[in-house]
Amino acid sequence: MKKTASLKIAGAVLASVLSTLAIRADLAINENVSLFGYAAGSITYNKVQQKSTDTTMDIDAAKLGVTLDFSPITATISGYTDAGASKIYLLDAYVSYDFGSKLKLSAGRFVTWLGYESFDLVDNTFSSFGNATISDSLFNNIIPSYQHGVRIEYVNEKAKLGLSAVDSVYNVNDEFYRGDGDVRDGFGVEGNFTYTEEQWTLGMTLAYQYTKAGYQDFGGIDPYIDEPETFTADIWLERKIGEDITIAGEIVLMREKIKGVDAKNTFYAMLMAKQQIDEKIAIAGRFSFGDRKDYGNFWKVTVSPVTYEVTKNLEIRTEMGYTRFDKDLRDHGMPKYEFTAGVQAVLKF
């Protein structure tokens, strides 16, 4: 969808505000109010087999949020836009209560626990996601984004244990910025465990979604089938070697079960490594693979030749990626390959 001129202006204003805040990172509103956010823009070259080549320059994502801390109650709210958006979205919108015994209860709109790579690109090593391709949306959506509900978390020095009840794990309308807002069409549950021991971090998330017959489920399933259910398991492991090397791996398994129909299984895996050359320069590489029963598979290689930290608030990333689709996916209309290359600037605070 092409963005309107008004959105471009709004996005530019949001990015301008972030720039000012990042330059003045020591600016404090007061002891109860804190701001957070980022803005990222890039120049990207895209080549899709048997399709035209294009070069784009745009705001990739911009997010501005505020946290109100009146302990034991805190509230978080944020606005967000990206290159594919037609408006500025309300993203985070939740209230938390800290019971004071390492136990916290939250309610509202929040991001899923699924996925090693964060929704917020500022927290990732790469500009793109391992499961993201230009031509295909199915694998892009194996990791959901935001949802509505209630979650409880127990956190200590090494571990986090969480459980959430939500309106949907996968929004039936494929809207990344919120849940589907309706429990009449079903519900979702997520459980999360994260453990850190010295230079190791392990993350595991299990998710379940039940959708009533008559509603369209994730993946474009026919809307008149009986009671579709989706089970997702995600496990990732990160290892730091000394001060300069980080390696990580992730496996995601999804099973869609429908009455009277063979279950559809989707598999996704990712391996990545990052080498910090010095305090400002880093290089990184990633390999990812996805396969879906009766649909096909893809593999993707991503290289970040140079990431340069200009200041603690500004980072320049370079990236090249090559994606290959198998014959089954090409029979579903996918190209044989995709190639992307770009430079991205990320401003954060």
- The b-or-e profile of 207-227 (16+ CB within 10 A means b, else e) is bebbbeeebbbbbebeeebee
- Structural domains of the chain, count: 1
For residues 64 and 78, what is the distance between their CA atoms, to the nearest angstrom?
Answer: 5
**CB distance 302 to 285 below 8 Å:** yes
What domain range includes position 57? 5-348
For residues 45 and 2, what is the distance between their CA atoms, to the nearest angstrom?
Answer: 17
User: What residue ranges of the chain have pLDDT lower than 50?
Assistant: 1-15, 17-27, 217-224
The model's pLDDT over 274-320, given as tens digits with 9 standing for 90+, comes to: 999 999 999 999 999 999 988 899 999 999 999 999 998 899 999 99
Confidence at residue 14, expressed as pLDDT on a 0 to 100 scale: 43
User: How many residues are there in the chain?
Assistant: 349
For residues 172 and 266, what is the distance between their CA atoms, to the nearest angstrom?
Answer: 18
72: preceding bond cis by omega (within 30 degrees): yes
The model's pLDDT over 100-137, given as tens digits with 9 standing for 90+, comes to: 889 999 999 999 999 999 999 999 999 999 998 877 77
DSSP character string of 173-225: T--TTS--S-GGGEEEEEEEEEEEETTEEEEEEEEEEEE-TTSPPTTT--TTS
CATH number of the domain enclosing 333: 2.40.160.10
For the four alpha carbons of 121, 126, 128 and 132, in that order, the dihedral sign comes to: negative
φ and ψ of 32, to 5 deg: -105, -10
Structure tokens at 34: 């804190």
Confidence at residue 21, expressed as pLDDT on a 0 to 100 scale: 43
Distances (CA, A) of 308 to 61, 223, 241, 267, 341: 19, 48, 21, 33, 16
**CB distance 64 to 37 below 8 Å:** yes
**CB distance 37 to 65 below 8 Å:** yes
Confidence at residue 63, expressed as pLDDT on a 0 to 100 scale: 93
For residues 232 and 251, what is the distance between their CA atoms, to the nearest angstrom?
Answer: 11
